[in-house]
Amino acid sequence: MPNQNPEAHTDRGQLSHPAQIDAKAAPQSFTRNLRTAVLITLATTVICGLIYSLAVTAVAQLLFPNQSNGSLIVKNGQVIGSKLLGQAFNSPGYFHSRPSSAGAGNDASQSSGSNLGPTNHQLSDRVKSDAAKLQAENPDAAIPVDLVTASGSGLDPEISPAAAEFQIPRIARERNMPVSEVRSLIAKHTLSRQFGFLGEPRVRVLELNLDLDASLPKKQS
């Protein structure tokens, strides 16, 4: 005898058409997921992009104000450079920095190495030319490698103590200074290994040249 229960008939009808339920639920599920994604994006943007950045900046300004502002060097109220960026010195009365391939040389807006390989003739010609000039300047001394090689950034503010020592005769001659006095200035601006074991001793060229000018102005020709 056929089943006359209308509820049972309705249940069987609903179970036989699940696609009708999915079609109604899909827009609601999409809207809910979209809302969640947008809220998470906004929250992480505010937390990581705004709150975190402001917190780190505030801590840096509080604990390390000089470093966080670029380790700038100020003379007579004017910013003349940074402890972290090399500058080119071409006059014979100053200590010279490493060669630089950043733009026209030591250009902080174009930090870069030369990207020339060890077999590239342009690189070898440039090194040979620099080495010849240095050898003529101080013929009795070995040429420190950092005086003929550029750093990867082209903005290295430091040279090795050996590179500074190599330039002592020229500096002493140009400024009429005793060699011992020039050597003492180098020692004053020589930084030791970080934490006693990281890196190598190095000399910051800009600060050394500023102290050189303060100690004895360059001889006028």
pTM for the whole structure: 0.73
Do the domain assignments include residue 156? yes
Q: How many separate domains does the chain show?
A: 2
Does 183 share its domain with 208? Answer: yes
Please check the confidence at residue 221 and state whether its pLDDT lies above 50.
no
Q: What is the DSSP string of 114-148?
A: ----TT-HHHHHHHHHHHHHHHHHSTTSPPPGGGT
Query: Does 220 have pLDDT greater than 60?
Result: no
Quick one: 192 and 109 in the same domain? yes
- pLDDT at residue number 18: 55
Shared domain for 211 and 105, answered yes or no, is: yes
Render pLDDT for 53-107 as a digit per residue (tens, 0 to 9): 999 999 999 999 988 898 999 988 899 899 999 999 999 999 999 999 888 788 8
pLDDT at 27: 74
Domain that holds residue 176: 71-215
Bridge partner list, 194: 198
208, 103: one domain: yes
For residue 153, pLDDT over 50 is answered with yes
**Confidence band of 113 (pLDDT split at 50, 70, 90):** confident
